[in-house]
C-alpha cells in the first residue's frame, strides 16, 4: 500500500489498478471513500482504460482483426509500478505487455499521478503513445464516495449540486450495457439531483457534454461534503449499486458503445487519437470538507 499525507489528508493507494483505497480528512475525522463492501460492490475507485463502458459483444475491430476486451478495459486489474514517490505526490505507471497486446494491439505508457494539497486530492491520467502507429484509447474515473458521510444521516438527505444549470438529457443503458439511441429528458435548466436509492435502479445516470465542471455533495443538515471538479472529460456518469450507501462521480473521456456502434475502434464514440510519441493528460480533483 502507498500513502500520501499532509496536515489535513491521509490517502491510501493500491498498486493493483492504481486504485484509491482511502481518502481520510484528519480535520473532519471522516473517511470519504466507499469501503468496498462486496455485498454491494467490491471496488472503490477503479481506473477505466483503454476503454470506458461496454463494447458491443465485448469486442472491437481494428485493421481487419477482432479483439476481445471486457467492460472498462484491463487497467483496473493490472499491477502498476511505482515510478515517483514523495509524502504528497506519487506516480504509478502501467506499460503495455504481452497480456495487454493480446486484447488491445497498441504500445502505450499510462501513468497516474495522485497529489494532495491542503484538503484537495488531484488525480491526473497521463497517456503516451510509445508505438510507431496511431494509438486509440479512452480513459475515465470511477471513485465511489460514502453516502451518508456521517452515520446520523440518511442517503436521501444528500443531493448533488452542479456548478451550472443543466438541460442535458439522460442516455439510457440497455440490458447489454450499451447506450440507447436517444436521450430522455432529465435536467430542466436546474442544477440539482436529489439522491435516492431508487434513482439508480435503472443503472447509471449518463450525460454528455454538461455545462458544469464541478459537482458538490451537499446535505442541508451538515457542513461536511465535497467538491468534485474535472476538466476535458466530455461525459459524466453518476452511479450507485442497488440500495448501496455510496455514490460514484465518474468523469469519462469515452462512453459505452451505442446500440448502433459498428464495432470499428476508429469509429467508437469518445476515443482519443495520439500520433507516435504524442502524449496527453486529463485531471480530476476532489476537495473534502
Look up cell 472503490; give the residue.
44
Rounded to whole angstroms, what are the CA distances from 246 to 78, 163, 274? 25, 21, 35
Assign 25 to helix, strand or coil: strand
Please, which pLDDT band fits residue 144 given cuts at 50, 70 and 90? Answer: very high
What are the start-end ranges of the E strands in 231-266?
235-239, 246-252
The closest alpha carbon to 272, from 62, 121, 127, 71, belongs to: 127
Predicted TM-score of the model (pTM)? 0.95
pLDDT at 149: 98
Find out whether the peptide bond into 131 is cis, omega within 30 degrees of 0: no
All 3 cell numbers of residue 220?
A: 442541508
* pLDDT tens for each residue of 70-110: 999 999 999 999 999 999 999 999 999 999 999 999 999 99
Please, which pLDDT band fits residue 145 given cuts at 50, 70 and 90? Answer: very high
What is the overall mean pLDDT for the chain?
97
Q: Assess contact for 205 and 169: CB atoms under 8 A.
A: no
Secondary structure tally for the chain: helices H, strands E: 1, 21
pLDDT at 45: 98
Distance CA 46, CA 195 (A): 22
Amino acid at each position: 500500500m502507498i500513502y500520501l499525507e499532509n496536515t489535513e489528508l491521509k490517502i491510501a493507494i493500491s498498486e493493483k489498478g492504481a486504485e484509491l483505497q482511502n481518502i481520510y480528512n484528519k480535520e473532519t475525522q471522516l473517511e470519504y471513500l466507499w469501503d468496498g463492501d462486496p455485498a454491494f460492490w467490491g471496488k472503490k475507485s477503479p481506473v477505466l482504460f483503454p476503454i470506458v463502458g461496454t463494447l458491443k459483444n465485448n469486442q472491437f475491430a481494428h485493421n481487419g482483426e477482432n479483439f476481445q476486451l471486457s467492460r472498462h478495459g484491463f487497467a483496473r486489474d493490472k499491477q502498476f509500478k511505482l515510478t515517483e514517490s514523495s509524502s504528497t505526490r506519487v506516480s504509478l505507471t502501467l506499460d503495455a505487455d504481452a497480456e495487454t497486446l493480446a486484447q488491445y494491439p497498441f504500445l502505450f505508457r499510462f501513468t497516474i499521478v495522485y497529489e494532495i494539497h491542503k484538503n484537495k486530492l488531484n488525480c491526473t491520467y497521463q497517456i503516451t503513445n510509445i508505438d510507431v502507429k496511431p494509438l486509440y484509447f479512452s480513459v475515465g474515473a470511477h471513485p465511489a464516495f460514502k453516502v451518508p458521510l456521517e452515520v446520523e444521516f440518511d442517503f436521501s438527505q444528500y443531493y448533488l449540486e452542479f456548478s451550472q444549470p443543466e438541460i442535458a438529457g439522460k442516455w439510457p443503458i440497455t440490458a447489454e450495457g450499451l447506450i440507447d439511441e436517444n436521450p430522455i429528458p432529465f435536467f430542466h435548466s436546474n442544477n440539482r439531483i436529489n439522491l435516492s436509492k431508487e434513482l439508480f435502479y435503472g443503472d447509471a445516470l449518463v450525460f454528455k457534454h454538461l455545462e458544469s465542471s464541478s459537482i458538490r455533495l451537499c446535505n442541508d443538515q451538515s457542513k461536511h461534503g465535497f467538491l468534485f471538479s474535472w476538466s476535458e472529460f466530455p461525459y459524466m456518469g453518476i452511479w450507485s449499486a442497488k440500495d448501496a450507501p455510496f455514490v460514484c462521480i465518474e468523469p469519462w473521456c469515452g462512453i459505452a458503445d451505442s446500440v448502433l456502434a459498428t464495432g470499428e475502434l476508429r469509429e467508437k464514440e469518445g476515443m482519443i487519437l495520439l500520433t507516435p510519441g504524442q502524449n496527453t493528460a486529463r485531471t480530476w480533483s476532489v476537495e473534502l470538507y
